[in-house]
Structure 1
Amino acid sequence: MQYGLTQDQEMIADTVRSFVEREIYPHETAVERSGTVPAEIAQEIKRKTLELGFYACNFPESVGGAGLTHLEFALVERELGRGSMALTHFFGRPQNILMACEGDQIDRYLMPAVRGERMDALAMTEPGAGSDVRGMKCTARRDGGDWVVNGTKHFISGADHADFIIVFVATGEDQTPKGPKKRITAFLVDRGTPGFTIRDGYKSVSHRGYANMILDFDDCRLPDAQVLGTVDGGFEVMNSWLYATRITVAAMSVGRARRAFDHALHYAAEREQFGQKIGKFQGVAFQLADMVTEIDAADLLTLAAADRLDQGLSANREIASAKLFASEMLGRVTDAAIQLHGGMGLMDDYPLERFWRDARVERIWDGTSEIQRHIIAREMLRALGA
């Protein structure tokens, strides 16, 4: 990896950071208090992102995207991490898994998503199946040439605005020496399909306004044309396109940590106690030093993992390490930032209490910290035949 960004990469980061400061920050307090993003603001963010040329920047130029590398896209996500997820959602980064679309699916789903005409969401998690994807109970069975889907998905981010959902469903079961093993298939499901309902999910303390939804399937009939990839090939599709999403969590954690750190640094340089700036006290100064060191380490770990993908190298362990360290680092940095602000850190006059609440979910979604540790250890031990 080249240590230090190129001029073009610096420009990408600066452009997105400026956009977030100009177009996202002014609306954050209102969204935080109302728990919703007004439709006109959402459409304005989408329109300006399209004008900027960054909508679907995670897609190749061959389908109308900006064709950014994994490293460049990590920079975009890092800067978006500074802002409210409820608002940056409309910056528009469709699921890369749509690159698996074939035939008519390209014109019905892939291209409209890249152009910002249709929004997508991804559904895997169920009430009884989180990290254990093969434990899912949402099933699809053959009936008269169609698939009939029954079951429930929950914690589905973005489904409130989605025109269609990419849903992973169990389509069979194999008997193995280790017990039954579910076969998984991905389906493209349009909003409004009979038997398919999207309803409000749970009220979360993290990322207010970025709703999680519940999806119910009650004898929902889907033709073969709605299968994404191949029947029973859901894991192949998932592993081809989705595992790098953990880089997004790592990158956004770095961006949010830097914003929290900036607040703490300026506060330490301005706040006076006992006749001097509190940054002069070793107890405060050392905390700032530790915070920025951890942020820099997480940043480099994340960009190095993205760079491995650009080089075509195996990066599963490196991505897991980045996600694990960056998400846990964010929790420590936001907590320290509040501590340096004292009681005011917990008041909503500052955004720190929001950063603190928002940070908690990063250690859970897209694979918990425990799952990341499992991946890291497994990758190392497998190399030794263990």
Structure 2
Amino acid sequence: MNFGLTEEQDMIVSTVRTFVENEIYPHEAEVERLGYVPHELGEEIKKKVLDLGFYASNFPEEAGGPGLSHVDFALVERELGRGSMALTHFFGRPQNILMACEGEQIARYRDPAVRGERMDALAMTEPDAGSDVRGMKTTARREGGDWVLNGTKHFISGAEHADFVIVFVATGEEVAGNGMVKKQITTFLVDRGTPGFTIRDGYKSVSHRGYKNMILEFEDCRLPDAQVLGKVGGGFEVMNDWLYATRITVATMAVGRARRVFDMMLDYAAQRKQFGQPIGRFQGVGFQIADSITEIDAADWLTLAAAWRLDQGLPANREIASAKVYASEMLARVTDRAIQVYGGMGLMDDFPIERFWRDARVERIWDGTSEIQRHIISRDLLRPLGA
């Protein structure tokens, strides 16, 4: 069993890390202060990524992407995790779900997104539904040959930059095998500027300032059948086919961010002196360093192993959930230890440690809470036993 990276993978890691250090790090403090990414800066980053040949690196060659493996792309995301999410957003990873586009949708949505000509956003979460997708209240009804959407989505990342949004809504009901009535979910492609569709600022978050969350409102928003992505009532099928990538992305980016924090913590522990010696020599600090690198390495291998299973065509739902829950919680522990090693200065904005600490909190919530991941893991283990 070979745990080493190939020469090509080493090149991927080096290229993306260098890009993040040179093109992302210098702008992080400004974005943190402003609370948004200036349009010109976002476009500049996007152009440089296109020139680099890494835009839409999560798409296969037949769709215009570079055709990276799941492990290759996990390495890309791991390095992007070192930088501000508000800025790395423009590195350009359109939603994989656009692979479900058919016919004219390919030329109108998927291909322009892959080329960097149009940006997308994914809209699923609602104020009263959260992780309960079938509990969503945004609906679409048939009227005069069209679909009429009504409802609200919130916590929608990237919608302020999006040219179109991929929206999940309830379009009817069905009776399950156990007799329970469940909502049918359908996916729609909705262009910015469509009458009845409004995008407005969301809430101010302490995590990832500048990576804004938006509120989407639909009020008698009319859409033709051509805007349905996949089949009517087939929203869950589209989700299951393509949205696994979001959970593994959280895990990989958490590993990358943890390694950046660790590097800073290690350097500080080696340079900062108390009682005539580096603080890293004190057991209380040294053990925190040892625990941190052990957990980071464990999260890294969990994540790469899950990506490897996808490349082999093996079931990976449980493994992805394990990677997501462990890596996101690991990041919380590592950033907290970094605050402790830095002492009072760790909470000052002279250093980015307090930002990493704040940013880490949301990773255990979005793209499926830690509780949801543990439910996925336990269900996967118990079902074969009839429990």
SS in 2 for 1:289: helix
In the alignment, which residue of structure 1 is the partner of 2:98? 98
Give the corresponding residue for 1:337.
Answer: 338
* Distance of 1:297 and 1:243 partners within structure 2: 21
SS in 2 for 1:362: helix
Taking the aligned partners of 1:336 and 1:260, their CA distance within structure 2 comes to 10
Partners of 1:55 and 1:345 in 2: how far apart? 35
> What is the Cα deviation at residue 2 of structure 1?
3.4
Q: Following the alignment from structure 1 to structure 2, what is the Cα–Cα distance between the partners of residues 287 and 175?
A: 53
Q: Secondary structure at the match of 2:232?
A: coil
- Gapped runs of 5+ residues in structure 2? none
Secondary structure of the structure 2 residue equivalent to 1:86? helix
Gaps of 5+ in 1: none
- Paired position in structure 1 for 2:122: 122
Q: Deviations over 1:210-260 (max 9, x none)?
A: 010000000000000000001000000010000221000000000000011
Between the aligned partners of 2:115 and 2:2, the Cα distance in structure 1 is: 33
For residues 168 and 179 of structure 1, what CA distance do their matches in structure 2 show? Answer: 21
Q: Which residue of 1 aligns with 2:189?
A: 188
Matched letter for residue 369 of structure 2: T
Distance 2:90 2:245 in 1: 20
What displacement does 1:130 show?
Answer: 1.1
Corresponding residue number in structure 2 for 1:70: 70
| 1:157-196 matched pairs, under 5 angstroms | 157-176=157-176, 177=178, 179-196=180-197
**1:87 aligns to what?**
87
Letter in 2 for 1:149: L
> Residue in 1 aligned with 2:316?
315
**Post-superposition offset of 1:39:** 1.1
Question: Kindly tell me: are residues 179 and 339 of structure 1, through their superposed partners in 2, closer, same or farther at Cα, counting changes over 3 Å?
Answer: same
Q: Deviations over 1:325-354 (max 9, x none)?
A: 000000000000010000000000100000
Residue of structure 2 equivalent to 1:142: 142
CA distance in 2 between counterparts of 1:82 and 1:312 reads 29
Alignment length, in residue pairs?
A: 386
Q: Distance in 1 between matches of 2:380 and 2:179?
A: 20
Report the counterpart of residue 364 of structure 2 in structure 1: 363
Matching of residue 8 in structure 1 with residue 25 in structure 2: no
**Deviation for aligned residue 1:63:** 1.6
How much does 1:78 deviate? 0.4
How big is each residue's C-alpha offset from its partner over 1:32-86, in whole Å with a ceiling of 9 and x where there is no partner? 0110111111011000000000000100111210111111100000000000000
- Of residues 107-116 and 279-288 in structure 1, the stretch that sits farther from structure 2 once superposed is 279-288
Aligned to 2:235: 234
Q: Secondary structure at the match of 1:79?
A: helix
Aligned-pair CA distance for 1:178: 5.4
1:174 Cα deviation from its structure 2 partner: 1.7
CA distance in 2, matches of 1:119, 1:205: 25
2:317, 2:169 → 1: CA distance? Answer: 24
**Pair 1:60-2:60 in alignment:** yes
- The TM-score, its normalising length taken from structure 1, stands at 0.99
TM-score, normalised on structure 2?
Answer: 0.99
The 1:346–1:178 alpha-carbon spacing in structure 2 relative to 1, beyond 3 Å, is: farther
Three-state SS of the structure 2 residue aligned to 1:189 is: strand
* Aligned-partner Cα distance in 1 for 2:339–2:93: 31
The letter of the residue matching 2:295 is: E
Deviations 1:99-152 (A, max 9, x none): 000000000000000000000000000001111000000000001110000000
Distance 1:27 1:53 in 2: 22
C-alpha distance in structure 2 between counterparts of 1:192 and 1:180, whole Å: 35
SS across alignment from 1:383: helix
**CA RMSD of the aligned region, Å?**
0.8
For residues 336 and 101 of structure 2, the distance between their equivalents in structure 1, rounded to whole angstroms, comes to 43
Does residue 37 of the first structure (1) align with residue 27 of the second (2)? no
Amino acid at match of 1:365: W
Matches within 5 A, 1:196-345: 196-345=197-346
SS at match of 2:189: strand
Quick check: 2:96–2:245 contact (8 Å CA) kept in 1? no
What corresponds to 2:109 in structure 1? 109
